Homo-oligomer: A and B are copies of this chain.
Amino acid sequence: MTFELPELTFVSILDYVGTLAFAISGIRLASAKRFDLFGAYVVGLATAIGGGTVRDLLLDVPVFWMHNGIYFIINLVALLLVGVLGKVVIRQKNTWFIFDTIGLGMFAVIGIEKTLAEGFPFWVAIVMGVLTGSGGGVVRDVFLNDIPLIFRAEIYAVACVLGGLAYWAFWALGFDSVGCGLVCGIVVILSRIIAVRYHINLPTLRGEEHET
């Protein structure tokens, strides 16, 4: 067994930081619901790799984690961090918020670029950016038997849409993929930080008065 250990580039480090933050968010919520160690591990994993997995199935390309075991190891690290350090880790809310937001931006860029590389048009790439960034959180909440958080609160997916539009605009202006990706990531991260800082939420529809 060889975990094809990938070279550590700037991009891959951000990817792994995001993976760790996503995994911790899943493990934290799973342990709050008294999931056992295995359940917490699976929920952490689903949060971290769920979006990218669905993306790769839709694109019909090899699923990324099946060729790189590092994501399973990062998730194990996340489990150990939460298990050993417990509340000390969990209370670093601001740190994890920043890491989680970096991960969101990174995942959106990866989703967009992987989709463009397969020859799909930009609107599909933006959909895949959103899916890569926020799909894992949906799987996490389905496993936790909660209504997916991103459907009710938080400018999370919308930050990915804005980042995707920025990528598209800069690409149309002639920037290369490094420039476009950088702008995209920055737009995602700033959008989310501004939204959280100023309590900006999307409105709800007033279609019906009460639940059915």
Which of A8-16, A30-38, A96-104, A185-193 lies at the interface with chain B?
A: A30-38
Q: In the complex the two chains form, is A204's CB within 8 Å of B157's CB?
A: no
Give the distance to chain B from A196, nearest Cβ to Cβ, in Å. 15
Question: Contact flags (1/0) for A196-212 with B, using CB distance below 8 Å?
Answer: 00000111111110111
B contact residues around A82 at 8 Å (CB): 205, 207
Confirm or deny: A169 has a beta carbon within 8 angstroms of a beta carbon on chain B.
no
Q: Number of A residues whose C-beta is below 8 Å from B?
A: 66
Q: Would you call A39 and B208 a contact (CB within 8 A)?
A: no
Judging by beta carbons under 8 Å apart, are B37 and A205 in contact? yes
Instruction: State in angstroms the CA–CA spacing of A34 and B211 once bound together.
Output: 9
A182 at the binding interface (Cβ < 8 Å) = no
Given A58-B63, A202-B36; A151-B1 close (CB under 8 Å): no
Cβ-closest chain B residue relative to A32: B208
B1 touches A32 (CB 8 A): no
**In the assembled complex, how far is the CB of residue A80 from the closest CB belonging to chain B, in whole angstroms?**
10
Can you name the residue of chain B whose Cβ is closest to the Cβ of A2? B121
Known: A37-B202, A120-B66, A123-B1. A31 touches B148 (CB 8 A): no
A207 contact set on B, CB distance < 8 A: 27-28, 31-32, 82-83, 86-87, 90
- Other-chain contact of A38, B38, B90, B157, B208 (Cβ < 8 Å): B157
How far apart are the CA atoms of A201 and B57 in the complex, in Å? 34
* Assembly CA distance A37 to B120 (angstroms): 26
Q: Which residues of B contact A6 (CB under 8 A)?
A: none
Would A123 and B72 be within 8 Å (CB), given that A35-B151, A148-B39, A158-B38 are in contact? yes
Contact between chains at A147 and B147 (CB < 8 Å): no
Most B CB contacts (10 A, CB to CB) among A72, A151, A208 go to A151
Q: A206 and B39: CB pair below 8 A?
A: no
Do residues B204 and A37 form an inter-chain contact, with CB atoms below 8 A? yes
Q: Determine which of B3, B206, B212 lies in contact with A123 in the assembled complex, contact meaning CB atoms within 8 Å.
A: B3
In the complex, which of the residues B31, B146, B152 contacts A35, with contact meaning CB atoms closer than 8 Å? B152
